[in-house]
Structure 1
Amino acid sequence: MHYTPKKTVGQIISSENDYVIAVKANQPNLLAYLRTQFEPIPPLSVNLHIEQCRDRYTQRKVSVLDTIAGIEPQWLGIQQMIRVERTGTRANQPFSETMFDRQFSGN
């Protein structure tokens, strides 16, 4: 079965629900767009969280952007863009990753 996020987005919005969805490599245009948006525009909010547990040290920086412009029209209802940057160590091995999400509103 072919997964079409835009169709799912439409169903959730038509039922007047809100949700957050991760943007992955299967949406290359949207992912590339989101990567460029957090540099020129200051985020609405930024939260930094540090966690240490056993052999893991993780620092998470969550940035929320509410300026939405230039997104393809089929992504209806986007209210905010969220970037989560994770860095740290797992079993003494360094790691770094960045994830992007979109928050939608059906109201």
Structure 2
Amino acid sequence: MATAHEIRQRMKQIQEAREEAFEPLAQVLEQRQELQRQLNELDEPYAKAYVAAEAAGWTAEELSAIGAEEPARRPKGRPRKRVASKAAPADAGSASPATVPAQGGDGEGATVEAGGLTG
């Protein structure tokens, strides 16, 4: 049967082996934290450069296509200008006719076209 001293010695050996196994993780963790700090420092200059590219005429879609992701946080200042929809508004001359329910006693509706009534 093992003595208390032998049991403590075995426990210390196991603990030392665990600490040795942890050492590579601790080193990588330190490097990762440093790289994350450096990346965070680039957020503001990246956002300013991105906004400057947009101001020079680049669209978000074009920038994305070449690998420039939209910044997580935009620099403080004026709000981003929204690009108008590319769909042209329908003009009044191309509207399709619509039937209006009859309001008199004759039971017939009238067709309404741009610029007048028929029926």
For Structure 1 versus Structure 2, the TM-score category normalised by the shorter chain is under 0.3
Higher helix share: 2
In terms of fraction of residues, the more strand-rich structure is 1
- The TM-score, its normalising length taken from structure 2, stands at 0.22
With a CA cutoff of 8 Å and minimum separation of 6, indicate the structure with the bigger relative contact order: 1
Normalising by structure 1, we get a TM-score of 0.24
